[in-house]
Every structure is written in C-alpha cells, then in structure tokens.
C-alpha cells in the first residue's frame, strides 16, 4: 500500500472511530474557511426566550445550554404539550440536546398511541435515524416477532425511546443526554396513557423505573410507574439488540412476553 492510500485508510478509520458513518456531500467542505457566525446585535441575555428555544432569542445563534439548564428547559417545554402531536412539534424545535445536531431526524414514536401497551427502548440506531421511526432495524424486526408471538403488532402497541435522536456512531447516550430527554418521554407516556409500560433493556429500565440493579436482576419483574395521571404497571425485559447477541436469553424474554400477554388479558 502506498503512503497516500495508507493515510486515507487511517483517516477513514479515525472518522469511523469518531462516529462518522455517512457522507453528507460529494465535496469535502473546508470548515476552517467558513465565515465565523455573525455576532448577535444584542446580547443573548437581553432577548426574550421562547419555549422551544429557551436559551436563545429571536434570530440569534444557539449556544449549547449547560446540562442543568437544558434539563430545566426540557421540563418546562414538556409540560406545555397537551397532545402527542404538540409534544412532537416541541421536540422538533427543542435545541437543548446536542444530539439533535448530529442526528438526521427526530425519531418520535411508532405504533398506535391508543394502544394498551407501550414499549420504550434506549435510543434510535442508524436505520431508525434514516426512517424517522423507532425499532425498524434488526432489533426492531426481532421486537416485531416477539410482539407477534403474543398477538401484538404496531397497531396494538406504541413504541418510543428514552432519547429520540440517534447518538453518533450508535454510542450510548450520556447520562446528561438521557436526563435532558427524560421529561419528554415522561410526558409522552403520560399523554399516551398506556395500561402497561415495557422497558426494553437496562438503560430504559434504570432511567424510567429508577432502578440501579442490572437488567439480569430486574428483567421479568413488575414495577409501579406513575405516569402523572395514574399508576400503571411496568415490566422490565431484555432489549432485542441484546437478544440478537445472546440468543440463549430469548427463553427468558419469552417468559416476560408471556407474562405481558397474561397481564393484557387480565
Ligand atoms: N434500539 C433502541 O433502543 N431503539 C431503537 O429504536 C432501535 C434500536
């Protein structure tokens, strides 16, 4: 391999490690040559805030919020949504989570918001980021099969994620990113008002149910979950992506799904 090829390979491998997995233009852009953003005519602090852009005034350039401020902004914004559509619109405009900048699109939900059961995963992956729908990739196909085995499909279940934007390179969302998105998924659950919540995997279980144990201890267990309107039942189970890597564990997930079927029949 000549030196130029070697350098190119090393550069691509650096990009892959950094989470780049798609080209967005044919021509390389020289960002160093880009003009610096024009300074706002008035200091940001003097401008009136808007609910979706709590940290920026009209016409200004978004500056990243400190994590605590972003969580506060998310709480305030989520509270104002009276419908799922309003919540989706708020999230589309919400600039408090930097994942929005690297994701292709918002992945809000799929399925039937009137369903009695709601599944919540961790965060969209590449396929979901492209489709704008949760669980459409390999793990989504497995989830569909698991649901079908107990008579459910996307007309009888509602599906969302803790974090509605894909983290670059499918990395795990940081605790701050999850904390910023938490008020939105809480509100989404409250507005969808399912009878049963199913947490798919450890991050979803720990974030929504406040557990600290690992998923091998919590799976199969029923919890109480306060939606804000009422108390419902919540079940922790394995994430389908984990089951793809550890197919032997499917028997335990099958048990959980049978318990879910029983609970829905009851
Ligand atoms: N994994 C998740 O947690 N959510 C998705 O939507 C897809 C994969």
With the most atoms of ligand 1 within 8 angstroms of its CB, the residue from 123, 143, 177 to mutate is: 123
Distance of alpha carbon 71 from alpha carbon 48, whole angstroms: 19
Mean pLDDT score of the chain: 88
- Residue 33 DSSP one-character state: G
Does the CB atom of residue 161 touch ligand 1 within 6 A?
yes
Task: Tell me the CA–centroid distance for residue 69 and ligand 1, in Å.
Answer: 27
Question: Ligand 1 atom closest to Cα of 128?
Answer: 6
**For residue 10, what pLDDT is reported?**
77
What is the C-alpha to C-alpha distance for residues 174 and 169, in angstroms, rounded to an integer? 13
Question: What pLDDT is attached to residue 42?
Answer: 38
Helix (H, G, I), strand (E, B) or coil at 144: helix
What spacing in Å lies between the alpha carbon of 161 and ligand 1's midpoint?
7
Q: Which atom of ligand 1 is nearest to the CA of 139?
A: 8
The preferred substitution site among 128, 157, 207 for testing ligand 1, maximizing ligand atoms within 8 Å of CB, is 128
Do strands 117-121 and 110-111 pair parallel, antiparallel, or not at all (unpaired)? unpaired
Across the range 128-144, mean pLDDT stands at: 98
**Each residue's pLDDT tens digit, 35-71:** 544 433 333 333 344 445 554 444 444 667 888 999 9
Instruction: Report residue 2's pLDDT band, with 50, 70 and 90 as the boundaries.
Output: confident
Instruction: Locate 44 and state its tokens.
Output: 């940001």
Task: Report H helices in 41-167.
Answer: 67-79, 84-93, 99-102, 126-131, 138-149
Sign of CA dihedral 262, 264, 265, 266: positive
Give the pLDDT confidence score for residue 147 in this predicted structure.
98
Q: Which of 128, 144, 145 is nearest to 136 (CA)?
A: 128
Pocket of ligand 1 contains residue 241 by CB under 6 Å: yes
Residue listed under structure tokens 């904390």: 179
Give the separation between CA 255 and CA 2, rounded to whole angstroms.
56
What pLDDT was estimated at residue 60? Answer: 46
Count Cα neighbours of 94 within 13 Å in the Cβ-side half-sphere. 32
pLDDT tens string 203-218: 999 999 999 999 999 9
> Domains of the chain by range and CATH?
67-265 (3.40.470.10)
Pocket test for ligand 1, best of 110, 122, 167, 169 (most atoms within 8 A of CB): 122
Instruction: Report residue 189's pLDDT band, with 50, 70 and 90 as the boundaries.
Output: very high
Q: Please say whether the beta carbons of 220 and 213 come within 8 A.
A: no
CA of 89 to the centre of ligand 1 (A): 21
186/162 Cα distance (integer angstroms): 9
Is pLDDT at 167 greater than 50 in this prediction? yes
Residue 198: name the closest of 133, 246, 135, 249 by CA.
135
Query: Do residues 51 and 86 lie in contact, with contact meaning Cβ atoms separated by under 8 Å?
Result: no
CA of 134 relative to ligand 1 center, distance in Å: 6
Question: From the CA of 58, how far away is ligand 1's center (Å)?
Answer: 34
């Amino acid at each position: 391999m000549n030196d130029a090829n070697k350098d190119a390979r090393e550069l691509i491998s650096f990009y892959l490690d950094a989470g780049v997995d798609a080209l967005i233009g044919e021509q390389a852009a020289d960002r160093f040559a880009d003009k610096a953003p024009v300074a706002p005519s008035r200091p940001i602090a003097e401008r009136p805030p808007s609910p979706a852009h709590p940290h920026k005034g009209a016409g200004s350039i978004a500056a990243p919020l400190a994590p605590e401020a972003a969580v506060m902004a998310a709480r305030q914004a989520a509270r104002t949504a009276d419908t799922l559509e309003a919540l989706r619109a708020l999230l589309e405009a919400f600039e408090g989570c930097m994942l929005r900048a690297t994701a292709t699109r918002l992945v809000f939900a799929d399925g039937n918001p009137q369903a009695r059961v709601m599944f919540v995963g961790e965060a969209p992956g590449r396929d979901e980021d492209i489709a704008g729908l949760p669980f459409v990739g390999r793990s989504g196909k497995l989830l569909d099969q698991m649901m079908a085995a107990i008579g459910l499909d996307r007309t009888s279940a509602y599906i969302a994620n803790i974090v509605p934007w894909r983290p670059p390179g499918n990395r795990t969302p940081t605790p701050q990113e999850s904390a910023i998105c938490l008020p939105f998924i809480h509100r989404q659950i409250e507005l969808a008002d399912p009878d049963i919540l199913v947490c798919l995997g450890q991050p979803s279980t720990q974030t929504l149910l406040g557990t600290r144990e690992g998923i091998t201890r919590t799976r199969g267990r029923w919890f109480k979950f306060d939606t804000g309107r009422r108390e419902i039942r919540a079940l922790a189970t394995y994430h389908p992506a984990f089951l793809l890597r550890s197919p032997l564990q499917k028997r335990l997930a099958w048990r959980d799904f049978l318990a879910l079927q029983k609970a829905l029949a009851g």
